Amino acid sequence: MLKTNEDKLVELSMQCKPGPPRIRPGWKVDHEGKPFILPSIGGITLNIQVGDSAFGLAGDHIEPGVSCSANSEKPFDFPNNSLQLLSCIGNEAIIVSGDAKGEKGVVTGHHGGSEHVIVDFPKKILKQLTYDDKIMIRTRGQGLKLIDYPDIKLYNLDPDLLKKMKIKQKKEKKLKGLIEVPVTTVVPAQCMGSGLGSAHVAAGDYDIMTSDPDTVKEYKLDKLKFGDFVALLDHDNSYGRSFLKGAISIGVVVHSDCLLAGHGPGVSTLMTCSKPLIKPMLDANANIADILKIGTKR
């Protein structure tokens, strides 16, 4: 079992509520020059969950489940910035008002730009929610460390989710210090786009660009699902998002494919290393829905 500093983590309750959809008026133009008007970021998305395909939707930057904000009018200010930094994937969320009071959900990611924390609830619960309902998130995970692997940094990861990720420690002498992490997909460095260069990864995400059909086909990027764990090759997320040969980062898909240039399915970072000490192992079931029995796997 991986040794962590879980007993030292600070747990804080953060209050938020569903954030209405954010759609700019007028046409947007995709990477091929075609104009479109489609559903986009935010809202209570009634028919899309983790475990569903992140491709083929009549939408752009779609966030599954409930997109939450502590201040939808000032998304980059307090207290929403605190909500973004402290909420971690796998955190428990509880509805504390309205018709669905007492129902529980799970944080599945956060999306930069919209500054939303994304929460999965059963579909029947989504239909009961309003934009005035309050949700409490039990935030914990920032500051989590792997005691025996100091070069591997963790972000945005609830310790209970870490325990369920089926990570293997290599015991062989020549492989000591390396861990194997199940992922559905390995993503080449050249595919990472919007969000690259951000100063830190404790909030937001960055996108897997899908504008090149041959690369999408070669790496099977169009098979990605919401909640998939993915490996980002030659990307170091230790102190921001940057290209570094030999580095590797592990993240989870948080929003859908996109039509805009430089965009695609969004990934929130869970772990990263500037050295090749994380070995991705392909597993079709490496998805938060499968691991936590939420979304399409409820």
Give me the mean pLDDT over the 75-93 stretch: 97
Domain-embedded: residue 4: no
Structure tokens at 116: 């939303």
In this prediction, residue 293 carries a pLDDT of 98
Per the structure, the complete domain to which residue 135 belongs is given by 10-139
Residue 171 in this model has a pLDDT that exceeds 90: no
pLDDT digits (tens, 9 = 90+) for 100-124: 999 999 999 999 999 999 999 999 9
Separation of alpha carbons 192 and 210, rounded Å = 9
- Note whether 20 and 129 are same-domain residues: yes
Q: For residues 120 and 189, state if they share a domain.
A: no
> Residue 250's domain is classified under what CATH number?
2.102.30.10
Candidates 34, 115, 97, 285; CA nearest to 184 is 285
Q: Measure CA 133 to chain center.
A: 23
The arithmetic mean of pLDDT across residues 71-88, rounded, is 95
Q: Does 2 map to a domain?
A: no
For residue range 5-60, list pLDDT tens digits in order.
999 999 999 999 999 998 888 999 999 999 999 999 999 999 999 999 999 999 99
In-domain check, residue 5: no
Contacts of 53 (CB under 8 A, 6+ apart): 223, 224, 225, 226
Same domain, 287 and 179: yes
Answer with the one of 89, 104, 139 that is the final residue of a domain.
139
- Region 246-261 average pLDDT: 97
- Specify the CATH number for the domain of residue 35: 2.40.10.170
290 lies in the same domain as 158: yes
Residue 186 to residues 18, 194, 230, 285, 291, Cα–Cα distance (Å): 32, 18, 6, 14, 19
- First vs last Cα of the chain: how many Å apart? 27
Q: Do 286 and 157 belong together in one domain?
A: yes
- Spatial separation of the C-alpha atoms in residues 197 and 104, rounded to whole Å: 35
Last residue of a domain, one of 139, 166, 195: 139
Cis peptide before 35 (omega within 30 of 0): no
Please report, to the nearest 10 degrees, the dihedral formed by the alpha carbons of residues 112, 113, 116, 122 taken in order.
-80
Instruction: Please give the residue that has the higher pLDDT: either 148 or 171.
Output: 148
pTM: 0.96
263 beta partners: none
- Among 15-19, 20-24, 85-89, 154-158, name the one with the lowest average pLDDT: 20-24
**Whether residue 116 is found in the same domain as residue 165:** no
In a domain, 146, yes or no: no
- H helices of 120-158, in order, are 123-126
Q: Are residues 67 and 130 in the same domain?
A: yes
Tally of domains in the chain: 2
Claim to verify: residue 122 and residue 171 sit in the same structural domain: no
Q: Are residues 213 and 128 in the same domain?
A: no
The mean pLDDT of the chain is 96
Q: Is residue 3 part of a domain?
A: no
> In angstroms, rounded to a whole number, what is the distance separating the alpha carbons of residues 37 and 26?
7
Place of tokens 């970021």: 41
The answer to whether 253 and 63 are in contact (CB under 8 A) is no
Six token digits for residue 15: 């209050």
* pLDDT tens readout for residues 214-228: 999 999 999 999 999
Same domain, 285 and 208: yes
Q: For residue 205, is it within any domain? A: yes
pLDDT at 174 over 80: no
Which of 107, 139, 171 is at the close of a domain? 139
Are 212 and 279 found together in one domain?
Answer: yes
